Chains A and B, each alone.
Chain A
Amino acid sequence: MLIETKGLSKYYQHKDGLVEAIKYIDLSFDQGDFITITGPSGSGKTTLLLLLAGLIRPTSGSINFQGHELNSSSDNKLAGIRSQHIGFVMQNFSLIPYLSVLYNVLLPLSLHKHADSSRNDYAVRLLDKVGLKDRMNHLPKELSAGQQQRVAIARALVNKPKLILADEPTGNLDPALSIEILEVLKQINVENKITIVMVTHSPVASGYGNLKINLVQGRIVNKVCSVVTDEFLS
């Protein structure tokens, strides 16, 4: 068991009243799962990702990440868990604009002790894997949207994470580029046994998951386990 939530709820305090973003969610993901989360806008998808990342704290319920009780962990501990075990891929790519592609990929490692040159090699290998080795000295703005998202994926992989959290990673990409990115994620998931939790609006993207969760108003209304087949993709 990689992650397990029990009775997970998140209410936002708003001046117009309480917003119940996530309500009593019980989930458990194993190492190597590819989970897709769909649902209408405002249904709590991002909130769920934030909870899993330890970026916000639940109103009630618990999240267990590899034996760490996130709810009772300090901010520093949570930051440590993110830097050690979690990679992030966001809709807006969230790259650092003044850092070269290579430095963006290396960024998460600046938090790790014992930096050595092998990490540099590893980052270059990852860039090679996403097809951007020849662009490693470029700035993000010099790349296309799809290329930027591939840099973000390389960055998410550099700390050899157990879990990748992706919030609409293809939201800003056209269909062809989306497929490219999804294929990269699938490859990572299959080859490296990295668990991926991906929020998406696109049915094609959600088809990549072997566990598909549909959220409505903060509740899971549908949960489908499936095995992705080549027929499904075509």
Chain B
Amino acid sequence: MKIYKLVLIELWHRKSQLITSLLAITLGIGVIVGIRSVAVVSEKAVAVNLDNLGANILVLPQGTSIDNYYSADIDAPTFPEDYVERIRTSTLAGVDNISPKLTRRIKIQNQSVVLTGILPSSEIISKPIWQTSGLSGLELKATCDTSASNKSHGYEDERLQRKPIESLQQNDCIVGANIAKTLNLKQGDKVNILGSSFNVFNVLSETGTVDDDRIFAHLHTIQKLTGIENQISVIEIMGCCNAISEGLLGKLRNILPDTKITTINQIVSTQIKTNQLMNKISIIFLIIILFVGGISIGNSIWANVNERKKELGTLRMIGFTKLKIYQMLLLKAAILGILGGFLGYIIGTLSGVLLGPQLAGLNIEPIPIYLLWSVLISLCISLLGSLIPAYLAGKIEPYKIMQEA
């Protein structure tokens, strides 16, 4: 019989003790992994989505955020389509390509779809359509210096560049890659949307953005079908960056008083702040885990040592050295640590994957390298926490136990 077997049998023998000593560290690691998984994906998602917009100014209903817009809930706020005309008829300089949209999350054959109403010829849409379907289009450029206004946020993927789409009939629709896959749609098919039949004008190539889960159709058709006539969710504007720096946003706010007007830069910096906050929270959690987890495992090892005083005395009596006793207890702590890190990773990742889509509207992917980190951190914490109890256990004198007999 080897020492590790002795340790495993002892662990198994005290299952409830095992579970309680694992609880703190497992939950702690789980929370960190959960937060980090969401943060990583949301950072990516926002950056990709924003880059994919192609616009640099967003007009949103008062009191909403870019997240509301992307989640496109059924009761997400809207504002009148007339606002588009207000901008058009104003004499504001540096406003280019005004593109209104109405988005609503609906179900088609139980599949969640973001139905997006667009106006052809003003809408900018992913390059792949234009490439693969021969939709004619001009490369869009803000009227002034493009290098700054089309600034990418680290995702210079060609697939994500926008091109205008010229024409879209009232009963045509363009289907995102994921939707096309799950609903088994291809170009020329018919699809029933909210009781109305649509021709699939085109299927988009996969972009890795929310566009994959969207169906685009004519804005006015969507307004009628959803019963939200003359209302829109957003106006995406391509503004000349010089004009923006000269106060374009303020001027827009004057024309459109009850809306929220932001630039992509503002959104990006808010997002960066949110992410920084998330990172801080996970660091704070990490420190708390260091303490709570370490103390909790150390404490349970110490309780275990006290419970086993007689037994440890017996082991010393039959020839176990202090070193062997340390080895046994630290091996136990190591097993607890590895188990805790592993379970924590599983719990954190699972809750991210399961709850992510509902709570954050994000598809969370497991991050395998976090498994390594979880196990390593948890292992270190529980070993550190157990050093003192193990040292004290070595001090138990075997003869005391014999004389108490």
Cβ of A46 within 8 Å of any chain B Cβ, yes or no, is yes
B1 touches A55 (CB 8 A): no
Interface residue ranges of B210-255 to A (CB < 8 Å): none
Q: Range of interface residues on chain B? A: 20 to 34
Tell me whether chain B's interface is mostly helix, strand or loop, or mixed: helix
In the bound complex, what is the Cα–Cα distance between A91 and B169 (angstroms)? Answer: 96
Query: Size of chain A's interface in residues, with CB distance under 8 A?
Result: 34
Number of A-B contacts (CB under 8 A): 79
Cβ of B170 within 8 Å of any chain A Cβ, yes or no, is no
* A110/B2 contact (C-beta < 8 A), A91-B405, A98-B13 known: yes
Cβ of A19 within 8 Å of any chain B Cβ, yes or no, is no
B405 touches A79 (CB 8 A): no
A53 touches B403 (CB 8 A): no
Per-residue CB contact flags for chain B residues 304-321 toward chain A (1 = under 8 Å, else 0) read 000000110111111111
Interface residue ranges of A96-125 to B (CB < 8 Å): 96-99, 103, 106-111, 115
Cβ of A167 within 8 Å of any chain B Cβ, yes or no, is yes
In the bound complex, what is the Cα–Cα distance between A167 and B311 (angstroms)? Answer: 17
* A46/B402 contact (C-beta < 8 A), A99-B6, A115-B1 known: yes
Instruction: Collect the chain B residues with CB atoms within 8 Å of residue A109's CB.
Output: 1
The minimal Cβ–Cβ distance linking B325 to chain A, given in whole angstroms, is 10
In the bound complex, what is the Cα–Cα distance between A107 and B6 (angstroms)? Answer: 9
Instruction: Collect the chain A residues with CB atoms within 8 Å of residue B311's CB.
Output: 96-97
The minimal Cβ–Cβ distance linking B397 to chain A, given in whole angstroms, is 8
Name the CB-closest residue of B to A119: B1
A92 touches B405 (CB 8 A): yes
Interface segment out of the listed A29-37, A59-67, A80-88, A215-223: A80-88
In the bound complex, what is the Cα–Cα distance between A106 and B9 (angstroms)? Answer: 14
Cβ of B399 within 8 Å of any chain A Cβ, yes or no, is yes
Residue of B1, B2, B6, B398 most packed against chain A (CB within 10 A): B1
B321 touches A110 (CB 8 A): no
B405 touches A82 (CB 8 A): no
The minimal Cβ–Cβ distance linking B305 to chain A, given in whole angstroms, is 15
Instruction: Collect the chain B residues with CB atoms within 8 Å of residue A56's CB.
Output: 399
A90 touches B3 (CB 8 A): no
A115 touches B322 (CB 8 A): no
The minimal Cβ–Cβ distance linking A91 to chain B, given in whole angstroms, is 5
Interface residue ranges of A13-48 to B (CB < 8 Å): 46
Q: Which chain B residues have a beta carbon within 8 Å of chain A's beta carbons?
A: 1-3, 5-6, 9-10, 13-14, 310-311, 313-324, 398-399, 401-403, 405
Q: A92-B405, A107-B1, A107-B6 are in contact. List 15 more A-B contacts (CB 8 A).
A: A46-B403, A55-B316, A55-B317, A76-B323, A79-B321, A82-B317, A83-B319, A83-B320, A88-B318, A94-B310, A94-B317, A98-B9, A98-B14, A109-B1, A110-B1
Please name the 4 residue pairs, one residue from A and one from B, whose CB atoms are nearest each other, closest first.
A83-B319, A98-B13, A82-B319, A94-B314
